[in-house]
Structure 1
Amino acid sequence: MIDFRHRLFFLAALVFFMLPVSAQHTAVKTNALYWATTTPNLAVETKLARKWTGELSVGWNPFAFSDNRKIKHIAVQPEVRYWLCSPYAGHFLAAHLIYSHYNAGGINLPFGIFPELKDYRFQGDLGAVGIGYGHSWMLPGNHWSIEAEIGFGVGITKYGKYECATCGSKVADEKKTFFMPTKAALSIVYNIK
């Protein structure tokens, strides 16, 4: 039986791939900040209307490190953008959704973010909705650009909390709703012409 996360993924993929795609209006990109978390990622953006584009990004981290430290996850993020001038150049406003399935533990994140992640393992699902602001800078040659975006929104997560990062029995099943950053991107973009 297909559960909620599979339905959400299939719906996002169906909507995105039903969009009109044209080589003159498509960009492929990767987020360097996401790579810094050891997460391979790829996004495709396509023009929808004169000032509108749609993007679908996917990130997947299958890695476990020494002492079973991990931030394993798969994340899918569909997004629509309104460009203040013209698509793929200048300022834009965005609205996006996120779905992620995760298994993380044994990690000491900076700035005291999720302090329990150091001593516990969490496994669950996250859904979020957010808004963002970004800017794209074209590089010489018209095929490459650099893009920055920041986003904030509301997330809902349902997860199991386990005694330790390596093993242990389940301590609790929890559900939380919270305000969160929904996007932090510094992307390298290839514009297909």
Structure 2
Amino acid sequence: MRHSNFKMRTICLLAALSGVAVLSAQTPAKPRVQTSAAPEETTVYKPDGKKPVTVIGVPSNKGEGKQDVSGKADKRKKTVGLEGGRYLALKTNVLYDACALLNLAVEMQVSKKITVELPLTCSLWDLGSEHGVRTVALQPEARWWMGNEAGRGHFVGLHAHVAWFNVKWNDNRYQDVDRPLLGAGLSYGYKLPLSEHWGAEFTLGLGYANMKYNTYYNVDNGALLDTRVRHYWGVTRVGASLVYRF
């Protein structure tokens, strides 16, 4: 009985091994890839003995493929210069500088065709015994550029202004009271590039200003003459600026 069981087990084992051998013979082997080919060529050998197939454009290792991608990225970075970057500039109005009104402005791009300029004007000294302008003024402006690039060509702007002043001129002195000068206006201008970073800007604005001020005799401790509220319509912005673009 044991001999019969042993014989039966032997026959089953041989049958199983035969089946595995048959299946292995029918399963094709994986193609061998020639790794010594050039980076742009890879030869694949087929198991059936047919002519090998050469595949063009397949890199032989991952490192070279990564180098190519980084090279393309570097080329893209080189093509992006000042023309495609965000506009940021520092400027001064030379007309105000000539009148001893020190000023400095920063202009930055907030969208494709819109920039915001933040100028500060300051003068804390007199020009003489009879003339002097002491002021601290802010005049922010939002600009829309007509061309394809912000910071180049024609633009229109909407500005507001706030100023504290103490002006003496000839026989009288004028000083704000209770509140600063307030107003707003519209402007038009043109930016002319001079070089990669330098440029010239010209602008003219018209608008409204409201001010309340006291009038004094233009002498030391001069007497108060009157207090007035004035509504002004006219030129509210004028400039010929030297611009440095970052």
TM-score range relative to shorter protein:
0.7 to 0.9
Runs of 4+ more than 3 Å apart: none
What do the CA deviations read for 1:55-110 (whole angstroms, capped 9, x no partner)? 0000101111331521110110110000000211000000100111000012xxxx
Shift of 1:127: 1.0
Q: Name the structure 1 match of 2:159.
A: 96
Root-mean-square deviation (CA), in Å? 1.3
The answer to whether residue 192 in structure 2 is matched with residue 137 in structure 1 is yes
Q: 1:57, 1:78 within 8 Å by CA — same for their partners in 2?
A: yes
Secondary structure, aligned partner of 1:67: coil
Q: Is the 8 A contact 1:146 1:186 kept in 2?
A: yes
State TM-score, norm by structure 1.
0.78
Report the Cα offset of residue 139 of structure 1.
1.1
- Superposition pairs for residues 1-193 of structure 1, below 5 Å? 24-85=86-147, 86-106=149-169, 118-124=170-176, 125-140=180-195, 142-192=196-246
With a CA cutoff of 8 Å and minimum separation of 6, indicate the structure with the bigger relative contact order.
1
**Counterparts of 1:58 and 1:136 in 2: how far apart (Å)?**
20
Distance 2:229 2:194 in 1: 44
Larger Rg: 2
Q: Do the aligned residues in 2 keep the contact of 1:68 with 1:166 (CA within 8 Å)?
A: no
Contact preservation (8 Å) 1:138, 1:145: yes
Structure 1 counterpart of 2:218, one-letter code: C
Deviation at 1:130, TM superposition (A): 0.5
Within 1, Cα distance between the matches of 2:186 and 2:154?
Answer: 14
- Equivalent-residue separation in structure 2 for 1:173 and 1:131 (angstroms): 29
Bigger mean CA offset, 59-68 vs 35-44: 59-68
Q: Give, in angstroms, the shift of residue 131 of structure 1.
A: 0.3
The answer for the alignment partner of 2:45 in structure 1 is: none
Aligned residues: 158
Distance in 1 of aligned mates of 2:96 and 2:224: 29
Unmatched segments (≥5 aa) in structure 2: 1-84
